[in-house]
Structure 1
Amino acid sequence: MTTAAKHDLREVSSHFQLDGRFLDAVPYGSGHINDTYASRFETSTGVRRYIHQRINQNVFRDPESLMENVERVTTYARERIVAAGGNPDRESLTLLPTIDGKSFYRSGDDRWRTYIFVEGALTYDRAENVGQVYNAARAFGRFQKLLSTLPGKRLHETIPNFHHSRRRFEDFVRALESDPKNRAASVKPEIDFVLRHEPDTSVLVDMLQRGELPERVTHNDTKINNVMLDDITGEGICVIDLDTVMPGSALYDFGDSVRTGAAAAAEDELDLSKVGIDLDLFEHLTHGYLDTAREFLVPTEIEYMPFSARLMTLECGIRFIADYLQGDIYFKIHREHHNLDRARTQFALVEDMERKADAMRSVVDRYR
């Protein structure tokens, strides 16, 4: 175990069916939820790497159901990739079983899982060029397509009502009414913005309930750094971070990918004049997504793609302002009023999307 590691990875890894002799393990990646490590094992054919993760049970309260989801999704994805002549060890996360054949190892109160390390590819916290935006979006569309025919029972909701925008609005109203830190008086413009947009929060959830939109298997965290891009070709080869894969709308994934992948400024930009939707990035993202998703999406889903970008951005802003009103109890902050700054940025992005709604519609129509 390295001095940087908080856990005994030699001991943890001994409970999984891994080839070779343990060499070392180091913390890996930029994720903030689970504890993630990359290990090296010496084998007869050279050094092999694995990924080990300790599931954060403060966020995911039912790790057994979560791992049932992950096991079902990765097993089915691998089957479809093999049938198409692909390489399942690179194009899907591969769970490795424990010694007793389980998908995870229980160590006291901790739950650990192990994946094959996907070599020859990297993740990027921010896109370095429009090609990466296109390829990441294409990978998310392909991921949805792979799982559009997942057989069996409905997946578990690992975080109930995660993208239920109406519930997020109701949480905001409760925070506003309680106002435990007496902050509401100082953020009236932001409160008024949310209240004006209340009707939007019910649109997609109501359409799902009425059967006007199909329920899909969705990723629900479609940031670019959840796609591994091939070191040589730049293609998006593997979608990672499957903890929030659960039932939802394809529009949740597309909309949230636009919020993070086509914004002209950072999520907490203080200069709101820099905030807006970058239509060039939006075009590359839309093009990539529809290149792999158009054949299974229904017309209503495509019709609501521009709206979903506004809604997912609004929902995120509502969550930020509600947390600010409650005293910053959920999202980590790094400066005073950080959640308020984040909310203002999201609302400014919504306003710019509203101004550019016709242009966004034209982009979607071009690639549908």
Structure 2
Amino acid sequence: MELNLDAEVLEAYGFSKEDLDIAQIGTGLINRTYLLSPLIEGKKYILQNINTVVFKKPQAIANNLRSIADYLSGLYPHYLFIKPIQTLSGEEMFFFQNEYWRMLPYVPNTVSLDVLTEPQQAFEAAKQFGKLSRLLDRFDASGLEPTIEGFHDLELRFEQFQSALNGASNDLKARAQNEIDDAQNHRYILDYFQSYVLLPDFPDRVMHHDTKISNVLLNTQTYEGVCVIDLDTIMPGKFISDLGDMMRTYLCAFTENETDLNKIKIRLPYFEATIEGYLSEMKHILTTTEKELILFSGKYIIYMQALRFLTDFLNGNIYYPTAYLTQNLDRTKNQFKLLSDLISRETELQDIIETHLV
């Protein structure tokens, strides 16, 4: 397969196509990613094209990563933080033909998973995300720029849903009436969050914001966590962004694309592993208010994602890629089923949390 990779991009980092084996890798939907393997034995590299439709301010990504890398290298020099490699001219990105590129070191003897198959994998991933948050506990998050405005802003997502509802055709509204009712009936999740958001012990932290399992590297032999990757969305946020996204993506055996809702259930061993891994790093860092909101973080992120899928359906499927007309509606049903199962098991899940807070 011919790869759409200009020689000038490689030359900016001191390489040529003749010196490399180049393969497109990864399952991410946002950035194009390539593995560069020198034909003469040497280090491998990751080359990424930044999607400026999603990330409208690439320089904000570069600035954030530089600030965090400088902080971590000063206080925790042995921590593996994957920062971009500079171009030959000393830049952290290469701009060519209206596209931004960056190169990253390849971490050998590691694997990223697309699917969780063992609770221990959830433990290791949660521990790695928690560790990054712990090490950045005293970093001034206000010095970072949002790389996607309003990314986990539930109030904004609810407003977008209402706007889409007001503009949707009668046919789309009729198809989605049950889900529209669910969205409105769960508005209390937003109200509950707003009752906490201004409390002094509910701080903004440096959050990853996209804590799916594929964004952690694990050792290929032991499956122990090695480091966190895909740092484009690292920016200020509440702790619920990271832990809630872990709950949304780790706890069910099936993704949001599963249409058999009977399969959408919380797996208790994965819940406990996630909580145990995260709190093994964050238990002594979280404030009283944050500890109260641990389980709520799952409600917040799952509800927000349900709203986003429903909004896109009502808007005519203009954001998320779909294979058929009602896929975003099916994704909405899936997420509301996951939310319902989480809520129905709240007492059981809270007991697990309390056990690991001791």
Question: TM exceeds 0.5?
Answer: yes
Separation (CA, whole Å) in 2 of partners of 1:35 and 1:269:
26
Structure 2 counterpart of 1:307: 296
Cα pair distance change 1:255/1:153, threshold 3 Å: closer
Separation (CA, whole Å) in 2 of partners of 1:49 and 1:132:
25
Pairing partner for 1:77 from 56, 66, 72? 72
Structure 1 counterpart of 2:192: 203
Amino acid at match of 1:250: F
Give RMSD over aligned pairs.
Answer: 2.0
Report the CA distance between 1:182 and its aligned residue: 3.2
Separation (CA, whole Å) in 2 of partners of 1:77 and 1:257:
24
Separation (CA, whole Å) in 2 of partners of 1:74 and 1:36:
22
Q: Is the 8 A contact 1:74 1:95 kept in 2?
A: no
Deviates more, 1:293-302 or 1:196-205: 196-205
Report the CA distance between 1:292 and its aligned residue: 1.0
Q: Is the 8 A contact 1:181 1:325 kept in 2?
A: no
Report the CA distance between 1:108 and its aligned residue: 2.4
**Are residue 56 (structure 1) and residue 51 (structure 2) matched?**
yes
Structure 2 counterpart of 1:133: 122
Deviates more, 1:46-55 or 1:343-352: 46-55
Q: SS at 1:103's partner residue? A: coil
Report the CA distance between 1:115 and its aligned residue: 0.7
Report the CA distance between 1:367 and its aligned residue: 0.6
Cα pair distance change 1:362/1:183, threshold 3 Å: same
TM-score, with structure 1 as normaliser: 0.92
**Are residue 164 (structure 1) and residue 165 (structure 2) matched?**
no
Pairing partner for 2:305 from 311, 316, 321? 316
Residue deviations 1:239-283, cap 9 Å, x none? 011111111011111011110001143212211111121111100
Cα pair distance change 1:202/1:161, threshold 3 Å: farther
Structure 2 counterpart of 1:4: 2
Separation (CA, whole Å) in 1 of partners of 2:345 and 2:195:
25
Q: Is the 8 A contact 2:265 2:341 kept in 1?
A: yes
Cα pair distance change 1:80/1:122, threshold 3 Å: farther
Pairing partner for 1:38 from 35, 40, 48? 35
Separation (CA, whole Å) in 2 of partners of 1:329 and 1:205:
29
Structure 1 counterpart of 2:250: 261
Separation (CA, whole Å) in 2 of partners of 1:77 and 1:118:
18
Cα pair distance change 1:231/1:181, threshold 3 Å: farther
Structure 2 counterpart of 1:282: 271
Structure 2 counterpart of 1:345: 334
Report the CA distance between 1:208 and its aligned residue: 2.8
Residue deviations 1:275-301, cap 9 Å, x none? 121111100110001001112111211
Amino acid at match of 2:300: L
Pairing partner for 2:25 from 4, 7, 28? 28
Aligned pairs, number: 357
**What percentage of aligned pairs have identical amino acids?**
32
Pairing partner for 1:94 from 61, 71, 83? 83
Cα pair distance change 1:95/1:357, threshold 3 Å: same
Q: Is the 8 A contact 1:321 1:343 kept in 2?
A: yes
- Extract structure 1 runs of 4+ deviating beyond 6 A: none
Structure 1 counterpart of 2:314: 325
Q: Is the 8 A contact 2:65 2:83 kept in 1?
A: no
Q: Is the 8 A contact 2:20 2:38 kept in 1?
A: yes
